[in-house]
Copies of this chain bind each other. A is one copy, B any other.
Amino acid sequence: MDEAGQADRAEQGDRPLRVARIQDVAKLAEVSTATVSRALASPERVSPEARARVFEAIAKTGYVPNPAARTLRSQKTYMVLVVLPDLANTFFSRILRGIEETLFEAGYGMIIGDLDGSPEKEAHFSAFTGAGRVDGAILLNGHLFGQRRDGSGQAARLSIPLVALCEAIPGADIPQIEIDNREAARRMTEHLASLGHSRIAYLSGPPENVLERERFKGYQDGLEAAGIAFDPSLVIPGDFTIGSGVTAGQDLVARAKRPTAVFCTSDEMAIGLMRTLLSAGIRVPEDMSVAGFDDIEFAAVAEPALTTIHQPRRELGQAAASALIDLLQGRPSPRSIRLDTELVIRDSVAPLR
Binding site for B on A (CB under 8 A): 14-16, 19, 62, 64-69, 71-72, 77, 79, 87-90, 92-94, 96-97, 100-101, 104, 109-112, 114, 116, 121, 124, 127-128, 130-133, 153-158, 242, 245-246, 268, 271-272, 274-275, 278, 297-298, 300-303, 305
Contacts and interface: CB of A to CB of B under 8 A. Distances in A.
Contacts of A77: 68
A130 B66 CA distance: 10
A157 B93 CA distance: 32
Given A65-B131, A127-B64, A301 B271 contact: yes
Q: Report the copy number of this chain in the oligomer.
A: 2
B305 A275 contact: yes
B93 A89 contact: yes
Contact of A110 (B16, B112, B153, B302): B112
Contacts of A71: 68
A109 B88 contact: no
Top 10 nearest A-B pairs (CB, nearest first) are A62-B155, A303-B303, A68-B71, A275-B301, A68-B72, A64-B131, A88-B93, A67-B133, A100-B114, A68-B68
Given A68-B68, A297-B242, A301-B271, A94 B88 contact: yes
Contacts of A132: 19, 66-68
A298 B242 contact: yes
Contacts of A64: 127, 130-131
A298 to B, nearest CB: 5
Contacts of A88: 93-94, 96-97, 297
Nearest to A76: B68
A155 B15 contact: yes
A4 to B, nearest CB: 17
Nearest to A61: B155
Contacts of A156: 15
A51 to B, nearest CB: 20
A62 B110 contact: no
Contacts of A133: 67, 109
A104 B121 contact: yes
B104 A124 contact: yes
A278 B298 contact: no
Given A68-B69, A68-B71, A246-B301, 17 more contacts: A19-B157, A64-B130, A65-B131, A67-B132, A87-B96, A88-B94, A89-B93, A90-B90, A96-B114, A101-B116, A104-B121, A109-B111, A110-B112, A111-B111, A242-B301, A271-B298, A274-B303
A62 B88 CA distance: 34
Given A68-B68, A298-B242, A109 B87 contact: no
A128 B101 CA distance: 16
Contacts of A301: 242, 245-246, 271-272, 274-275
A67 B72 CA distance: 8
A165 to B, nearest CB: 16
Nearest to A303: B303
